[in-house]
Amino acid sequence: MLSLRPNCECCDRDLPPANRDAMICTFECTFCADCAENRLGGVCPNCSGELVRRPVRPAAMLVKYPASTERVLKPQVCAGGEAA
């Protein structure tokens, strides 16, 4: 099950579960659409995987399976640094 991380790893923008601008890779690294497109060229800086739109979990399922509250922030990776 997707964790639905709450923020962009590059710019720390809030990405609530219903946000359609959240992009993820197969490891669930999470970025806003702006960073994914303009900073990362659609490629995850952590694993080199493709970034695709994160699906939206239906509201009724969010009650039973809530989104993660753990924020991940790696701005150095988005600026061309190495993955941590």
More confident call, 4 vs 83: 4
Burial class of residue 17 in the structure, from the number of CB atoms within 10 Å of its CB (0-12 exposed, 13-18 middle, 19+ buried): buried
Residue 65 CA to residue 82 CA, distance in Å, equals: 33
Q: What is the pTM of this model?
A: 0.89
The pLDDT tens digits of the residues spanning 28-58 come to 999 999 999 999 999 999 999 999 999 999 9
Q: What is the mean pLDDT of residues 58-63?
A: 95
Helix boundaries (H) for 1-84 = 33-34, 59-64, 75-78
The candidate with the shortest Cα–Cα distance to 35, out of 74, 72, 8, is 8
